[in-house]
Amino acid sequence: MGKSGDLALTANGQDCAEQLARFFPQARPVRIPVQVTASRGGRTNLRETAIVEYGDPEHAIFLSTLPLEFDDRVRIEATGEGRPTEATVVGVQYHEGRKAVAVRFSQGPCDWVVTQS
């Protein structure tokens, strides 16, 4: 795929996260690299690298390829920015083959999002 196709995918991904962010009026654009881990019972964990596109002290919105749905629990760790935090999926937005996920931090405000937003 050529560069123009790559740019289109990036733009579509941003549109997807931006659409979901409309439901979270406190969320601001950020770019925070994170590791997202979803538990699938037992010892099975699914993990991916993602970028938090929008955030506020209580929420983070990122693009994901993990099979996440409403009410799933995940662990998010900002790359080099403090300790991991637990979160629950509170929103999912599909757009042109992409998926944006909104999570709510389980233990209250998340310090690494607060310092970035």
Four-CA torsion 74, 78, 52, 35, nearest 10 degrees: -50
Which pLDDT value is given to residue 94?
A: 92
Query: Is there a contact between 103 and 114 (Cβ–Cβ < 8 Å)?
Result: no
Per-residue model confidence as pLDDT tens digits over 9-61: 344 555 899 999 999 999 999 999 999 999 877 778 899 999 999 999 999 99
* Closest-CA residue to 36 (of 45, 27, 44, 25): 45
pTM of the model: 0.83
Question: Domain 3-114 is in which class?
Answer: mainly beta
